[in-house]
């Protein structure tokens, strides 16, 4: 079921959590996650597992919709963020990560997630 546009992270009973894979074969969220401390990685994995198992995280300090975006959401562990979007067929696609420095999510990070989302949606149409 996996294809070249994504890479499975966690296949839960409610959602499949997947890394977005760019046309060059790199999964930006995976590369970024691997650079974090073991503790931060484990916190993100716990959030991915909970989301895959239940389909929701109620705590907005851990997961929330970014207002004024095209359905972009963020997982949060302290200052670290992984942006994502939901896709048809109970899939949640992780686009990339970054460390948040100020109060607002930088526009360039949102634009990056939205461009990955458009690329993913365009390529998935041709893979199935």
CATH at residue 91: 3.30.2310.20
Residue 1 pLDDT more than 50?
no
Entry pTM: 0.94
pLDDT for residue 127? 66
Question: What is the pLDDT at residue 124?
Answer: 85
Dig out the tokens for 5 from the structure: 């546009």
Q: Is the pLDDT assigned to residue 126 strictly greater than 90?
A: no
- What distance in Å separates the CA atoms of residue 48 and residue 42, rounded to the nearest whole number? 10
Contacts of 9 (CB under 8 A, 6+ apart): 17, 18, 19, 30, 48, 94
Asked whether residue 26 is domain-assigned, the answer is yes
The predicted structure's pLDDT at residue 6: 95
Query: 38-83: per-residue pLDDT in tens?
Result: 999 999 999 999 999 999 999 999 999 998 888 999 999 999 999 9
Question: Does residue 25 fall inside a structural domain?
Answer: yes
As for how many domains the chain has, the answer is: 1
Provide the residue range defining the domain that includes 34.
6-127
Residue 34 in any domain: the answer is yes
Does any domain span residue 1? Answer: no
* pLDDT score, position 128: 54
**Residue 3 pLDDT > 60, yes or no?**
no
Q: Which long-range contacts (CB under 8 A, 24 or more apart) does 108-114 make?
A: 109/81, 109/83, 110/66, 110/69, 110/72, 110/83, 112/83, 113/69, 113/72, 113/83, 113/84, 113/85, 114/69, 114/70, 114/72
Question: Cα(9)–Cα(55) distance, rounded to whole angstroms?
Answer: 15
Token pair recorded at residue 34:
């691997």
- 99 lies in some domain: yes
Q: What is the pLDDT of residue 2?
A: 43
| 70, two tokens | 């095209």
Does residue 86 fall inside a structural domain?
yes
Report residue 28 as tokens. Answer: 């930006």
The answer as to whether 63 is a domain residue is yes
Q: Do 3 and 91 meet the contact criterion of CB atoms below 8 Å apart?
A: no
Domain contains 19: yes
């Amino acid at each position: 079921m996996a294809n070249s546009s994504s890479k499975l992270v966690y296949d839960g009973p409610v959602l499949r959590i997947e890394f977005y894979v760019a046309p060059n074969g790199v999964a930006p969220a995976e590369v970024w996650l691997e650079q974090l401390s073991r503790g931060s990685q484990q916190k993100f994995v716990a959030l991915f597992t909970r989301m895959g198992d239940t389909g929701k995280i109620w705590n907005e300090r851990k997961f929330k919709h970014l207002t004024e975006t095209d359905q972009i959401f963020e997982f949060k562990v302290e200052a670290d963020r992984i942006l994502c979007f939901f896709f048809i067929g109970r899939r949640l696609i992780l686009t990339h990560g970054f460390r948040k420095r100020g109060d607002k999510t930088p526009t360039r990070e949102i634009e990056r997630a939205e461009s990955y989302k458009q690329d993913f949606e365009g390529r998935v149409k041709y893979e199935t």
